[in-house]
Amino acid sequence: MTRKPDLDQLCINTIRTLAMDAVQQANSGHPGTPMAMTPVVYTLWQRVLRFDPDDPIWPNRDRFVLSAGHASMLLYAMLHLTGVKAVNPQYERLGALSVTLEDIKRFRQLGSKCPGHPEYRWTSGVETTTGPLGQGVATSVGMAIAGRWMASYFNRPGFEMFEHDVFALAGDGCMMEGVSGEAASLAGHLALSNLCWIYDNNKITIEGHTDWAFSDDVATRFIAYGWNVTRVGDANDLEMLARAFKTFKATHDRPTLIIVDSHIAYGAPHKQDTSAAHGEPLGEDEIRLTKRIYGWPEDAKFLVPDGVREHFAAGLGARGRTAREAWMLRFAEYRDKYPELADHLYRMQHRQLPEGWDTGLAPFPTDPKGVAGRDASGRVLNVLAKNVPWLVGGSADLAPSTKTRLTLEGAGDLAAETPGGRNLHFGVREHAMGAVLNGLALAKVRAFGSGFLIFSDYMRPAIRLSALMELPVIYIFTHDSIGVGEDGPTHQPIEQLASLRAIPGLVTLRPADANEVVEAWRYIMQQRHEPVCLILSRQPLPTLDRSQYADARGLANGAYVLADAAPGQPDVILLASGSEVQLCVDAYERLTAQGVRARVVSMPSWELFERQSPEYRDAVLPPSVTARVAVEQASTFGWARYVGPAGEVIGMTTFGASAPLKELQTKFGFTPEHVVETARRVLDQGRTTGEARPSPERTG
Q: So which residues are the catalytic ones?
A: 430
Over the range 71-80, which residues count as b (16 or more CB within 10 Å of their CB) and which as e?
Answer: bbbbbbbbbb
Amino acid occupying residue 308: V
Contact between 246 and 234 under an 8 Å Cβ cutoff? The reply is no
Q: How far apart are CA 477 and CA 587, in angstroms?
A: 27
Count CB neighbours of 199 within 10 A. 27
For residue 385, what are the CA distances in angstroms to 380, 448, 685? 9, 11, 51
Rounded CA gap, 215 and 200, in Å? 15
Q: How far apart are CA 172 and CA 177, in angstroms?
A: 9
What sign results for the dihedral spanned by CA atoms 611, 616, 622, 627? negative
Q: At a CB cut-off of 8 Å and minimum separation 6, what does 482 contact?
A: 492, 633, 652, 656, 657, 661, 664, 665, 668
String of DSSP letters for 42-77: HHIIIII----TT-TT-TT--EEEESSGGGHHHHHH
Strand spans (E) along 295-412:
367-372, 391-395
Could you give the residue ranges of the DSSP H alpha helices within 544-595? 580-593
| b/e map 245-279, b = 16+ CB within 10 Å | beebeebeebbbbbbbebbbbbbbeebeebbbbbb
d(CA 695, CA 594): 12
The alpha carbon of 592 is separated from its chain's Cα centroid by a whole number of angstroms, namely 45
CA distance from start to end of the chain: 92
Upper half-sphere CA count for residue 399 (Cβ side, 13 Å):
18
For 661, counting Cβ atoms within 10 Å of its Cβ (0-12 exposed, 13-18 middle, 19+ buried), the class is middle
Report how far residue 412's alpha carbon sits from residue 438's, in angstroms, rounded to the nearest whole number.
Answer: 22
Beta-bridge partners for 602:
560, 576
User: If you ran DSSP here, which 8-state letter would residue 360 be given?
Assistant: T
The Cα–Cα gap between 486 and 482 comes to: 9
What's the CA gap between 291 and 296, in Å, rounded?
A: 5
Those residues with Cβ within 8 angstroms of residue 260's Cβ, 6 or more apart along the chain or in another chain:
37, 40, 198, 199, 200, 201, 231, 232, 235, 241, 244
Q: How many other C-beta atoms are found inside a 10 Å radius of the C-beta of residue 536? A: 28
Instruction: For the chain, give the longest Cα–Cα distance.
Output: 94
Phi, psi of 500 (to 5 degrees): -70, -40
Q: Are 421 and 451 in contact (CB under 8 A)?
A: no
